[in-house]
Amino acid sequence: MLIASYRHLSMAGWAWPNFRPVELACKCRWHGCRGEYWQEPVFLDALEALREKVGRAIRNNSGHRCGVRNVLVGGAAKSRHRRIAVDISLSGHDRHAVLEAAIACGFTGIGGTPAGQRAGAGALDASSRGPGPSDESAGI
């Protein structure tokens, strides 16, 4: 469900203690974007399960993208970030363990998200960032 701003979301009943809506909302604040957010409990359940399986904090680099931001970052028209997906930092994590945990938690699309493909929990895209394996990130 699309929400114009994460600030409009009631925290009563928020069931995902390791994540906050602001972390998953669009961060651009351009052209009227006030932190657009996509609320999807199935995705959040999977993300919380991933956090528990990994056993450590998961740093999210990018979550929902409003239309303007998606264009500006070169996102695919049908990017999962237009609803909800996250790019997580793999820094300090065992990359393979995170990927295996993501699969076990129901994430799909690892390594890329074919246009138009939909999945139950979300997508996992892995990409390299920075100079070495300790600075990689993955998106779900």
Q: Site residues (CB under 5 A) for Zn ion?
A: 26, 28, 33, 66, 69
What 3-state DSSP class applies to 102? helix
Under 8 Å between Cβ of 84 and 64? yes
Q: Which helix (H) or strand (E) holds 54?
A: helix 41-54
Q: What is the rounded distance in angstroms from the CA atom of residue 127 to the CA atom of residue 129?
A: 6
